[in-house]
Structures are given as C-alpha cells and as structure tokens.
Amino acid sequence: MAKNQMHEELRERIEQGGAEKYHQKNADKGKMFVRERLRMLFDEDLDIEDAFFANCMDGSLPADGVVTGIGIVNGQTVCVMANDSTVKAGSWGKRTVEKIIRIQETAMKLEVPMLYLVDSAGARITDQIEMFPNRRGAGRIFYNQVKMSGRVPQICLLFGPSAAGGAYIPAFCDIVVMVDGNASMYLGSPRMAEKVIGEKVTLEEMGGARMHCSVSGVGDVLVSSEQEAIEYAQKYLTYFPENFRSKPPVLDAIQPEAFEKSISDLIPENQNAPFDMLELIKRLIDKDSFCEIKREFAKEIITGLARINGQAVGIIANQPRMKGGVLFHDSADKAAKFIQLCDAFNIPLVFLADIPGFMIGTKVERAGIIRHGAKMISAMSEASVPKISVVVRKAYGAGLYAMAGPAFEPDVTIAFPTAQIAVMGPEAAVNAVYANKIAELPEEERPAFIKEKHEEYKENIDIYRLASEMVIDDIVQPDDLRDHLNKRLEAYQSKNLTFTERKHGVYPV
Amino acid sequence: MKEVVANMAGNVWKVVVNEGDQVDSGQDVVILESMKMEIPIAAEAAGSVKELKVNEGDFVNEGDVIAIIE
C-alpha cells in the first residue's frame, strides 16, 4: 500500500514537470506546458510514453526534461519527442539524449513520422561527458535524423530556443514551424557573440523566428501562436504517407473556391506585367487545400502542398508579382528542398512556369547562383514522381529547364495558348541580335524596325509552332487546366521509376 | 520611419508616388524594370512619403533605398 501510494505520488510529480515559477514564466510568454501541447497535437492524447521515470532518483529533473512516446494524429501513428522547458530550461542530460535516440529508433522500426517539439536551452554543460561526445551522445540524434530523412516525415515545431548543437534538430527536419516571438535558432547566443566576436545583437535579430523564416530560410513556416503551429502540423501531415513506401492518402474531392475572375481573366496580355500567381493556384486546387511552405522566404517562387480532386500534389510556381518571377539563389534553393520533400514521399509535382530566367548580375554571381540553380535542376531531374510542367506565360532560358522543361522527363509539358518558350524574351533577343543594326539606323526608323523584329521573333516562337514540332504535348485553355491536371494525375498514378542506379549523385549544394 | 528598398537590381521605370503622398502598406511606390519585367516595389508600412531617393531612369542595386516613408 505504501509502495502504491509512493508510486502514484511520484507519477503525479513527474507529470507536473518543473517548478511552478517556470510554468508561470512560460505562461507569461504564451507558452503551453509540454503535456498540454501533446494533448492538443494528438487525436486523443499521447498514447504511449517511454522512460517516464527517467532520472526519477534525482527529484529535480522530471522525465529528464523531455517527453517521448507514440500517439495518433489524424488516425496516423506518429512518434514524438517534446522538450519540457520547465525542467532546467529543457536542457539535454544523458537520459534526455538517450530518450530522444530511442524514440527515433522506434520511429525507424515502425516506419512512422517523427515529430520534434523543441523548446530547449541545449546541452547541460555539467553533464557533458555523459551526453556530448559518446557513441550515444547528442551527435547520434543528428545521425539518426539524417538516416531517417526521406524514410519517414520529420517535422519540427519550434516553441522556444533551439540553441547551439540543438539548432541542428530543426535543420535536419523536412519542415520547421516557428512561433513568432518565442522560437529561435542560433549556434551562439547574443551573449556569446559579444564575448567571442565582439558583435552586439539581439536574439530576435540574430536568430528569431521572423528572421529565419524570411531571411535565412532555415525556418519554413512562421506562426503567431503555439496552437497555430500545432494546427499547421496536423494539416501538413494529411498530405503525407506514413513512410516512403506508401502513397499519400486521398481525401474527398472538393471544388475550388469560387471567384468572379477566371484564370484567363487573371493573366495580363502584356507578358512583362505582373500578376498574382497565388490567385491562379487557388483556382486550380481544392478549396482551402493550400499548405504553403516558406511563404515569407524567396517569394519569387511559391512552393506548397495542395489537393486536386482529393489527390495530394506539390506545387512549384513562379510568382511574377515578386521580382518578376525571376529565379534567384535563394528561390532555387527553396524549390530544390521542396522538390526533394515531395519526391521522397510520393507526392506528384506540378510546375507552373512564368519565368523570365535566372537573375543575372554581380550580386547573384557572387552568391553562387549557378550552383544553387544547378541544385534545383538536380532535384527536379531526379524526381521520379509524376511530374507535370505547365507553361503559364513564359519560360525563358534556363528558367525552362529549372521548371521541368521537356528535356527533364516531365510526364507532360502543357502550355496555355498565349505562352512563350524561348532562349530569351523578344526584347532581349532583338537587342542581342540587332544591336549594331539598330545603332546604325536613323533614330526615327528604330521603333518601327524593332517592332517588326519583335513580331518576327514572336512568330518564330509561337506556341502552336512548338506544339507542331512536339516540343510541348498539349495546349490547354487556362480555365480547363484543373480538369486536365486531374486526368493526367490519375493516369500517372502507377508511375514507378528508378532514376538511375548508383550510390548517390555528387550534388551541387 | 521606414525605408523602401529595391529587392533586386534594375532601372527605375516609373515613380508612381510624389513626396508628401499618403501610401498604404502594400501600395506600389516605384516600378523597376529588370530582366525585361516590370517589378513593382511596394511600401511595407503605411505613412507619408518623406523622401524619394531615385529618379526615373536611375540604376538601383539590390538593397538600395528608394524612398523613405514616415
């Protein structure tokens, strides 16, 4: 009886986490207790918890600061680790690390998604010999993540700091959701930065959620509350199978949102004028099915998961409203990771091209635009899922290649009747070919000459001519695109391709 | 005070506001011409246009300040 009572008391104490003052401190910042987060995440609650009694002989470290176990999200079994920041700021001791490693091993054995709910100050320096350098030290967590990548979905919800080595947990996940104001990632704290390199900077500026989701691109989704982060993860998971062996679940088909303007109304006649590609996407996909990734980062390309007639797809679309839809180093990098994500989990890809090309100039050359562009083209080439390329308005230069042009084995290349495919646009081409001739002409004759050459050039790259040469496979009216995509996606379902046999490519990262 | 900054290199094609004008967040301030495309550059905050730093035809590099909104 005494033993039973002791057991119940201990259980209760562990369940409560750290001291009351830390709970209060978290609540003041809009942070939920780790067990509340888990209750909100799962359909019911965490079903199975492992090593609940970890470090229970030390009364001050309930569960050793991390909850690990198995639960159900949208009917799907997932494994989870969740830091408890009321216990020594969620820092990692020997048992914390071992618990994380074990739940990763479980996720690998069961081949189910792994969720990381991160809110941790990093290593417990006092425990470093036990948790840092060993075979089963913290390094093993990252090693496991790399091994799991592409086998099972790995999702990181960042509720608080993710410091130093700990910052690599998000880095190795497929997706990182960050809560604005609370979440942060950094290798060295502002205090350390000031001491070691003499830089004075705030945490928010250096490693805050907004910075990472809009500037560095290490974060993928910026949310304003923990609840929003959890809801995002729940929605995100609906697009994914449990592992790379299966196909994504098919949901009930839903009609697209109704709008006054149709797709053809959206597209300006002037090739060079901006329009909002997001509006076009909304008209193609099932209502409310868009789950955008990296919305705040490299906005000249849109990447997101969606559904067409219930079937999950990954959309990669140039955004002419932002930087003219030109591809930059960051946008190529963003697209490369998204393509790999979809390909790993059997999600078909739809490319919507409206691209004047890759950016040129000193700034981007110094930023390595060539290797970043090559990275996107590698990922796109290797993708063996159904791959549909749609030329919405234009695909010029290497932009055509990056957006799954005909040479890259898309299952089909479709174009709208007004689309243009060329090495470069008419203005640039006429200038390149006739610059000397134009300079020789009397000024009053130049406009007429240029116009004539423009027209000639446009005829030369006319989309019906390209269809006649079978460069493109079909010309589709904008307002028929959804139906057309739906039929194609259904037809390509059984595609089962191995890109090539080898150990792995040497990637232009 | 908030700066409106060029998000890519290009030429200033049109300046669509005047100094002293009230602008909303998201409203275009200038339109650049780059890569043969029209590139609208919008204000990120509402306010009045305190200063325009560019003229039509000027070259701007990524990161250059175009206008100051107060």
Helix/strand/coil (H, E, C) string of A28-86?
Answer: HCCCCCHHHHHHHHCCCCCCEEECCCCCCCCCCCHHHHEEEEEEEECCEEEEEEEECCC
**Which residues face A178 on adjacent strands?**
A158, A222
Cα distances (Å, whole numbers) of residue A11 to A17, A47, A66, A83, A413: 10, 16, 15, 18, 61
Q: Is residue A90 part of a domain?
A: yes
Residue A456 lies in a domain: no
Would you place residue B35 in the very low, low, confident or very high pLDDT band (cuts 50, 70, 90)?
A: very high
Distance CA A319, CA A277 (A): 5
Q: Which of A214, A272, A321, A427 to mutate to test the interface with B (most CBs of B within 10 A)?
A: A272
Angle at B11 (CA atoms; ends B7, B12), nearest 5 degrees: 85
Cα distance between residue A506 and residue B5, in whole Å: 38
Q: Specify if A365 maps to a domain.
A: yes
And the tokens for A126? 């006092």
Same-domain status, A407 and A368: yes
Choose the mutation target among B37, B44, B60, B61 for the interface with A, i.e. most A CBs under 10 Å: B37
Q: Is residue A481 part of a domain?
A: yes
Instruction: Please check whether residue A242 lies inside any domain of the structure.
Output: no
**Would the pLDDT of A344 be above 90?**
yes
Phi-psi region of A492 (alpha: psi -120 to 50; beta: other; left: phi over 0): alpha
Does one domain contain both A394 and A469? yes
Q: Does residue A376 register a pLDDT over 90?
A: yes
Residues of A within 8 A of B40 (CB-CB) are 274, 321
3-state DSSP helix/strand/coil percent for chain B, to nearest 5?
Answer: 0, 55, 45
Domain B2-69 has CATH 2.40.50.100: yes
Q: What is the pLDDT of residue A1?
A: 59
CA dist., res. A179 & res. A158, Å (int): 6
**How many pairs of residues across A and B have Cβ atoms under 8 Å apart?**
41
Please judge whether B38 and A325 are an interchain contact, meaning their C-beta atoms are less than 8 angstroms apart.
no
Nearest residue on chain A to B9, alpha-carbon basis: A361
Token pair listed for A171: 């880095």
CA gap A330, A337 in Å, rounded:
11
| Structure ipTM over 0.95, yes or no | no
Summarize the confidence of residues A172-184 as an average pLDDT. 98
Q: Is A394 helix (H, G, I), strand (E, B) or coil?
A: strand
pLDDT tops 90 at residue A185: yes
Q: What is the pLDDT of residue A286?
A: 98
Q: So what's the pLDDT on residue A2?
A: 82
User: According to the model, what pLDDT value does residue A161 have?
Assistant: 93
Q: How many domains does chain A have?
A: 2
The one-letter amino acid code at A438 reads I
Residues of chain B in Cβ contact (below 8 Å) with chain A = 7-9, 34-40, 61-62
Give the residue among B64, B12, B5 at the shortest CA–CA distance from B38. B12
Residue A6: pLDDT above 70?
yes
Of A72-76, A387-391, A456-460, least confident by mean pLDDT is A456-460
Domain spans in chain B, listed from the N-terminal domain onward: 2-69
Question: Is residue A308 in a domain?
Answer: yes
Q: How many whole angstroms separate alpha carbon A241 and alpha carbon A386?
A: 16
- Condensed to tens digits (0 to 9), the pLDDT of residues A83-108 reads 999 999 999 999 999 999 999 999 99
One domain for residues A211 and A267 = no
Q: What is the CATH number of the domain that holds A280?
A: 3.90.226.10
A333: closest CA among A508, A213, A212, A211? A508
Mean pLDDT of A135-161: 97
Residues A209 and A323 in one domain: no
Residue A227 shares a structural domain with residue A271: no
What is the reported pLDDT for A425? Answer: 86
Say yes or no: A280 and A152 in one domain: no
Q: In the listed set A203, A237, A271, which residue is the last one of a domain according to the structure? A: A237
Average pLDDT on A404-420 reads: 97
A509 domain residue, yes or no: no
> What percent of chain A clears pLDDT 90, i.e. is strictly above it?
94
Q: Give the domain extent around A79.
A: 12-237
